[in-house]
């Protein structure tokens, strides 16, 4: 942080980064007349009424707008590439009113036409604190433009899901100020800051309402009472229930930059398989199965953020994790696996006006050099159709097919939590057979249901009209 004269540097800098703002806390060996200078681009992002001093009593605080140092300086104006630059004197720095040294005439120029002899200062604001005494003090203020977000990297190292999981905090500095940090606190949850000018506006509205009416409602009184909130944060009360991550690591947050560093050491569990979910159809299909990952948080809350998944160093998936409490599971389906296929053969056994029977023959094949786990679901989702499924094949095949409320799913029942079926390596196959018996709703049944619904609706409309007539 720059001062106007002595370049007083902070002894310790802490950033407390919330979702919608950041609190800067800097410790100084402060003199009684403590002055801080903020360039215009930085000061516009600061909540000015949040600027305060902790540790020493403030006797007064003053804001002074500082113009740049161009006035009465000599500069050169270069308007055309083939014309020599004009030497000028700056009369007014805010609107660049200049005087030509040779002709003594006045004119205004554009900033991109100027050539400087000395580096001009930025316009800004000086904040002067008059303190009761000198000593150790903490300058605090809230600023917009500094934010953070989590980012996760998952590298699956082997087929049995041995993995490396890393969580990073990406800290983005959108301001033009450099911060040398000694400590950072990252908040996942936000708090409401209510400034004095907002409080004043709400109090004025409350007073105007009270003048216009001699009776104050309970709702107005409650709104007036809520204005007693202050702009400072009490760490014992306001921090309750907030997700907080502390990073005690020194680093420099450069202007207009993003800095990433590990912020949490979390353990997750990974299960992967290939999977496919299909709606029932009477047509034969040949499909590739898709890669599927199930991620479970074991010991830490994981705030939502982008996740990059690699297998043995190769990129296989990108997604956004939601907020995950301990024990939460997230499932990601990512692209087709060209080595695992399904050949779904369908044969019509019989068909009548309101029913049909189909024989389904599933062949799953794996040409990988390693075995894979797989799962399959087939959905019959039609409110006008009733279905019955009859399993065929061997006892082992039938045992792996589960009939659900809306179709079937294939899983291997065992004594573990992992119920996936297995396809062996190098051309391993699994075959399943079943019949699907469909019964279609007759048109008169459908018509009867629609007629009943329409009759009920008309009866309701008639009752409503009668009630409206009685009320009038």
Q: What is the pLDDT of residues 49-76, one digit of tens each?
A: 899 999 999 999 999 887 666 778 899 9
How much is the average pLDDT of 324-346?
93
Closest of 322, 272, 264, 262 to residue 292, by C-alpha: 272
Q: Are 439 and 385 in contact (CB under 8 A)?
A: yes
Of the listed ranges 90-104, 143-157, 182-196, 234-248, the least confidently predicted one is 234-248
**What residues form DSSP beta bridges with 136?**
29
Cα separation, 463 vs 461, whole angstroms: 6
Beta-carbon contacts of residue 347 (< 8 Å; ≥ 6 apart)? 358, 359, 361
**What residues form DSSP beta bridges with 429?**
365
How much is the average pLDDT of 291-300?
93
Q: What is the pLDDT of residue 33?
A: 93
User: Is a pLDDT exceeding 70 seen at residue 5?
Assistant: no
In the chain, where the domains are located:
74-116, 269-294+327-440, 448-472
Region at 8 (left for phi over 0; alpha for psi -120 to 50; beta for the rest): beta
Measured distance between the N- and C-terminal CA atoms of the chain, rounded to whole angstroms: 74
Closest of 360, 372, 347, 379 to residue 428, by C-alpha: 372
**What residues form DSSP beta bridges with 333?**
292
Cα separation, 342 vs 361, whole angstroms: 10
Q: Are 263 and 248 in contact (CB under 8 A)?
A: no
Q: What is the pLDDT of residue 384?
A: 87
Beta-carbon contacts of residue 170 (< 8 Å; ≥ 6 apart)? 148, 149, 150, 151, 258, 259, 260
Please write the tens of the pLDDT for every residue from 27-42.
999 999 999 988 888 9
Q: Are 263 and 170 in contact (CB under 8 A)?
A: no
Per DSSP, helices labelled H in 137-195 are none
pLDDT band, very low/low/confident/very high, at 342 (cuts 50, 70, 90): very high
How much is the average pLDDT of 308-326?
90
Find which of 4-18, 102-116, 408-422 is predicted with most confidence, using mean pLDDT: 102-116
Cα separation, 188 vs 178, whole angstroms: 23
Beta-carbon contacts of residue 313 (< 8 Å; ≥ 6 apart)? 155
Model-level pTM? 0.67
Cα separation, 195 vs 178, whole angstroms: 26
Closest of 22, 20, 7 to residue 181, by C-alpha: 22
Q: Rounded mean pLDDT of the chain? A: 82
Beta-carbon contacts of residue 189 (< 8 Å; ≥ 6 apart)? 18, 19, 241, 242, 243
Q: What is the pLDDT of residue 111?
A: 85
| DSSP H or E segment with residue 194 | none
Q: Residue 274: helix, strand or coil by DSSP?
A: strand
């Amino acid at each position: 942080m720059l001062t106007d004269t002595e370049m007083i540097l902070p002894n310790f800098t802490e950033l407390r980064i919330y979702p919608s703002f950041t609190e800067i806390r800097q410790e100084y060996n402060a003199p009684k007349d403590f002055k801080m200078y903020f360039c215009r681009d930085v000061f516009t992002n600061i909540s000015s009424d949040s600027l305060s001093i902790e540790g020493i009593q403030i006797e007064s605080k003053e804001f002074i707008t500082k113009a740049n140092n161009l006035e009465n300086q000599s500069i050169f104006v270069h308007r055309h590439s083939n014309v020599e630059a004009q030497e000028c004197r700056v009369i007014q720095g805010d609107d660049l009113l200049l005087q030509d040294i040779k002709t003594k005439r006045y004119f205004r120029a554009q900033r991109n036409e100027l050539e400087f002899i000395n580096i001009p200062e930025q316009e800004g604001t000086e904040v002067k604190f008059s303190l009761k005494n000198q000593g150790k003090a903490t300058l605090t203020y809230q600023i917009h433009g500094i934010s953070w977000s989590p980012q996760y990297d998952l590298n699956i190292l082997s087929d049995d899901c041995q993995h490396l999981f890393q969580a990073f905090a990406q800290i983005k500095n959108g301001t033009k100020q450099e911060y040398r940090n000694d400590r950072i606190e990252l908040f996942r949850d936000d708090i409401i800051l209510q400034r004095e000018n907002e409080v004043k506006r709400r109090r004025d509205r409350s007073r105007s309402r009270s003048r216009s009416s001699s009776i104050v409602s309970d709702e107005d009184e409650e709104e007036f009472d809520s204005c007693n909130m202050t702009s400072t944060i009490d760490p014992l009360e306001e921090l309750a229930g907030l997700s907080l991550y502390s990073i005690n690591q020194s680093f420099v947050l450069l202007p207009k930059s993003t800095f990433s560093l590990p912020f949490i050491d979390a353990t997750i569990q990974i299960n992967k398989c290939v999977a496919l979910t299909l709606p029932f159809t009477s047509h034969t299909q040949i499909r590739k199965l898709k890669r599927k990952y199930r991620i479970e948080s074991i010991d830490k809350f994981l705030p939502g953020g982008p996740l990059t998944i690699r297998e043995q160093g190769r990129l296989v998936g990108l997604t956004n994790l939601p907020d995950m409490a301990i024990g939460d599971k997230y499932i990601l389906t990512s692209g087709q696996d060209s080595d695992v296929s399904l050949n779904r053969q369908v044969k019509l056994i019989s068909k009548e006006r309101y029913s049909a029977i189909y024989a389904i023959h599933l062949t799953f094949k794996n040409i990988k050099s390693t075995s894979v786990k797989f799962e399959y679901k087939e959905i019959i989702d039609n409110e006008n159709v009733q279905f019955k499924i009859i399993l065929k094949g061997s006892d082992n095949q039938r045992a792996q097919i589960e009939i659900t409320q809306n179709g079937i799913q294939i899983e291997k029942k065992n004594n573990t939590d992992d119920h996936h079926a297995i396809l062996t390596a190098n051309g391993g196959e699994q075959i399943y057979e079943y019949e699907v018996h469909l019964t279609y709703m007759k048109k008169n049944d459908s018509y009867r249901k629609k007629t009943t619904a329409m009759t009920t609706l008309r009866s309701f409309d008639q009752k409503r009209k009668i009630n409206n007539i009685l009320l009038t």
